[in-house]
Amino acid sequence: MAKVSLKHIYKVYDGKVKAVSDFNLEIEDKQFIVFVGPSGCGKSTTLRMVAGLEEITAGELWIGDKLCNGVEPKNRNIAMVFQNYALFPNMTVYDNMAFGLRMHKVKKDEIDRRVRSAAEILGITEYLDRKPKALSGGQRQRVALGRAIVREPNVFLFDEPLSNLDAKLRAKMRTEITRLHKRLNTTFIYVTHDQVEAMTMGDRIVVMKGGLIQQADTPQNLFRWPANKFVAGFIGTPQMNFFNALLTRRQDGGLDVRTEGFSLTLTAEEACRIDGAYTHGDRTVIMGIRPDDIRPCAAAQPGKGFSAQVALVEELGTQTLIYANTNESQLMTEDSPTAFCSAAGEGTGISPGSIQQFSVDTSKLHFFDEQTELTIKHRMPVTYAHCTVKEGKLSILGSTVPLPEALRARLADGTYQARIPEGALCVADKGCNGIVAEADCTGKDEYICRIACGNEWVFLKHTGKCEKGDAICFTVRLDMVDWLDGADVVVKGMEQTFRLEGKFVRSGKFRSREHYIELDGCRIQTPFEFNQRMYDCGRTIFKRNLAFEGDENSIKITPEGTQAQVVELLDYGEAKYIRLKLGNQELCVKTVEDVRPGSVTVTVDVGTLKVYDRALDMLLF
C-alpha cells in the first residue's frame, strides 16, 4: 500500500526540451488516478519517471515515505502494464505470468498460489496452458494484467493499455480494470488520451497539455468547474460550444451577455461568481455552453434563449444532436463564430433548414479570459466590496474601522472597490456580520460559503458544519486587499512572498572554499546543506541565472548580518511590512520588528528559500 507524491517534477530532454514542467500531485493510497491529455502532453514521460524508466531532471518523487528519485525500477515495488503487452510467444499463459517471479527467485508453491489467484481474478484459469497466439486481444491483455498482479506491487502503472483493442472490447476492459482496482485495493495510475476512459475510471483525473497540469480534480468538478477553456473543451461530449461575448453588470446585480448572434441575461445569483473585472462591457471574453444546456424549445423566454436556423440533425437513438447557426449566411460553416450544437432527447421532429427556438440554462454558462483562457467564473471567487474612506475611517461590509496607518497617505477620502483575495477573509468572533446564503460542500466538513452582508455577497472557505441561514462573523485582512477606483488599482495588496535574482558563486581554494548567493551588489554566504543541494543540481549550477523566492520567515533583522536599506515602513496594525533594498534589489517582507528608516543588518535563512532556474523557469528545490 502506498501513497505517491510528485513534488515540482520536471523533465528536460537535452537541456532544452521541457517535456514536463512543475508537476505537483499527491496521490492517496488506493486512489485511481488518470493522466489524460492529447498526444505529446507529457503523460507517459511522467508515468515513466514514477516507474523509474526515465530520469527525473528536477523535483522529488516519494513512494510511501521513501524518496525514490535514484531508486532502481525493480526496487520501487511497482508494476507497469503497457499498450504493447509483449508476451513471450513460446511460453504458456502460466509461464508468462510466472516468469518475473521466477527471476526474483520466489518459491515454486508461492508462484503457483499467486498465478492461480491472479488467473481466478481475471477469469483466465482455463487458458493457463495455452500459448498467447491461441488467445484473443482481450485475453492477452488480461494475461498482461495478470503478470502485473502476481508481483503484488504497491502501485500499478498503466500506459494506454487498451488502445490496441476494438471499441467494444475497450468498454468491457474498462469496467474490468475498475473492478480490478476495487478488488486489489491498491494505488492505480493510468495514462490515456481518451477523455471518456478517464472520466469513467478515475477517482481523480489529471488533465495535461504541453507538459503542464491544467487541472487535477474529480470527474464531476472537471465537468462543472473547468479551470480553463482547454479543460472545458476536452472534457465532455459533444464538445462545449464557445462564443465571444461582452458582459455588462446590470443595476439589479445581474449580467447582460452580448454575443454576435444573441443576447442573454443572468440573474445576480447566476452572475455572482464571475470576476467583476470583466463585467464593464469593454472586454471580450469567451463564453462556453455545453450542448446539453442549449435545448430546442417552443418559445424561449426573453434573455434566456434565441432563435437559429438548423443546419443538420443527427438522430443517435436516445439523443438528438442539432447543429444550428444564428447567422443563416454561415449556416454550413463549422467554425463560424455563431454556429453551435444543441443536444436534445429522441424524436424532436426538427428538420434541417427550419428556424428553431432554443433555450439556454444560464446557470450553467462558463466564461474564460480571451488571452489566458483561464476561467473567470470561480467556484471560490474573489470578493469585491464597496467601501468608503472618510476622515481616517474605513467603512467596509457593514463595519467601520480606523484606516490603517499604511493606507492613510494613499487612500484619499472617497469611495473604492475592495478586491479581497481568498485567504483574506477569516471566520472570527467579531468583525463583519453576515448570513450564509449558500454553503457549497467541497469535501468532508469543508464549504465554500456565499455570505449575504447587507446588499453584497462575500465568499469564504469554512471548515466545520455550516448551512444556509446561519449567522456568521468574519474579519478582512486589509493588508491583502487591492483598492480600486473604477478599473484602476489605487493601492495593491501586499505580496506575501518576495523574489531576488542572482547567481550561486564560490571563492577560495578547496579547503577554505566559501559559497555565496550573489545578488546585484551584495553577497549572502550559504551553509553546507544548501551548497550540497546546489551541487546536486549539476555542475552547471554556477553558470545559471537563478531566482530565490522567500517569505516572512526567510529574512530577519539581526544585530549583525548583511547590510540593507529600509526604504519604507508599512503599518497595517496587526500586520507590518518593511520594504528593503538588498544590493540593488527591493523586496518587501512582513515583520514583527519595530524598525526605523535607515540602514539595518539582516540575516537571510537560505534554507527557507525556493530556488528557480530562470532560463528554464524551473524550480530546482
- Contacts with ligand ADP by CB under 6 A lie at 13, 17, 19, 37, 39-45
Q: How many angstroms separate the CA atoms of 357 and 496, rounded?
A: 51
**Is the four-CA dihedral 209, 214, 217, 218 of positive or negative sign?**
negative
Q: 89 with 133: CB under 8 angstroms? A: yes
Q: 201 with 214: CB under 8 angstroms? A: no
Please, what is the minimum distance in Å from the beta carbon of residue 235 to ligand ADP?
16
Grid cell listed for 220: 464531476
Burial class (CB within 10 angstroms; exposed 0-12, middle 13-18, buried 19+) of 107: exposed
Grid cell listed for 31: 486512489
> Which residue's CB is nearer to ligand ADP, number 150 or number 231?
231
Please, what is the minimum distance in Å from the beta carbon of residue 195 to ligand ADP?
13
Q: Provide DSSP, 254-310.
A: -EEEEESS-EEEE-HHHHTTB-GGG-BS-S-EEEEE-GGGEEEESSPPTTSEEEEEE
H, E, C per residue of 38-89: CCCCCHHHHHHHHHCCCCCCEEEEEECCEECCCCCHHHCCEEEECCCCCCCC
Strands (E), 180-220: 187-192, 204-209, 212-217
Q: Provide DSSP, 119-149.
A: HHHHT-GGGTTS-GGGS-HHHHHHHHHHHHH
> Which residue's CB is nearer to ligand ADP, number 57 or number 362?
57
DSSP reduced 3-state for 105: coil
The amino acid sitting at 312 is L
Please, what is the minimum distance in Å from the beta carbon of residue 42 to ligand ADP?
4
Please, what is the minimum distance in Å from the beta carbon of residue 17 to ligand ADP?
5
Please, what is the minimum distance in Å from the beta carbon of residue 192 to ligand ADP?
10
> Which residue's CB is nearer to ligand ADP, number 13 or number 88?
13
Q: Provide DSSP, 350-376.
A: --TT-EEEEEE-GGG-EEEETTT-BBS
Please, what is the minimum distance in Å from the beta carbon of residue 189 to ligand ADP?
13
> Which residue's CB is nearer to ligand ADP, number 49 or number 149?
49
DSSP reduced 3-state for 92: coil
Q: Which residues, other chains included, contact 455 with Cβ-Cβ below 8 Å and sequence gap of 6+?
A: none
Please, what is the minimum distance in Å from the beta carbon of residue 80 to ligand ADP?
14
Exposure b/e, 571-609, CB count within 10 A at least 16 = b:
bbeebbbbbbbbbebebbbbbeeeeeeeebebebebeeb
> Which residue's CB is nearer to ligand ADP, number 190 or number 504?
190
DSSP secondary structure letter of residue 349: -
Query: In whole angstroms, how far apart are CA 560 and each of 361, 527, 564, 599?
Result: 65, 17, 11, 12
Residue for cell digits 517534477?
Answer: 9
Grid cell listed for 527: 551553509
> Which residue's CB is nearer to ligand ADP, number 55 or number 334?
55
Q: How many angstroms separate the CA atoms of 469 and 115, rounded?
A: 59
Q: How many angstroms separate the CA atoms of 88 and 97, rounded?
A: 10
Please, what is the minimum distance in Å from the beta carbon of residue 243 to ligand ADP?
30
**Is the four-CA dihedral 422, 427, 433, 438 of positive or negative sign?**
positive
> Which residue's CB is nearer to ligand ADP, number 128 or number 207?
207
The amino acid sitting at 323 is Y
Phi, psi of 192 (to 5 degrees): -155, 160
> Which residue's CB is nearer to ligand ADP, number 81 or number 424?
81
Q: 394 with 402: CB under 8 angstroms? A: yes
Angle in degrees, CA 81, 84, 166, rounded to 5? 100
